[in-house]
Amino acid sequence: MAVKVIIPTPLRPYAGKKESVELQAATVGEAMSSLTTLFADLKKHLYTDDGRLRSFVNVYVNDEDIRYLRGDQTPLREGDILSIVPSIAGGTQN
């Protein structure tokens, strides 16, 4: 399945400055895996050291959050658009 992945501005320097990337993938997990294989520098910003998607990284399939679908196992259809959308968090230490 040919799908498009929209890269958020802060990650474009690690993805050849591209706004989007077209990939072949059957699931969200496959698409994310292909993306980080193509652009290895993206991986540390998207995943923790133990391989989990970082809590402030949100992935949408056609505007639906994959947390409300089937996560990494969410199936993709031809022409689907995946968006990686940041959430922003922080605060003092204590």
Between residues 15 and 76, which has the closer beta carbon with respect to other proteins? 15
3-class DSSP assignment, residue 66: helix
Q: How far apart are CA 75 and CA 53, in angstroms?
A: 18
Residue span binding other proteins (CB under 8 A) among the ranges 6-14, 15-23, 24-32, 72-80:
6-14
Bridge partners (DSSP) of residue 2 are 24
Q: Does 19 bind other proteins (CB under 8 A)?
A: no
Q: Does 40 bind other proteins (CB under 8 A)?
A: no
3-class DSSP assignment, residue 36: helix
Residue from 16, 24, 37, 41 binding other proteins (CB under 8 A): 41
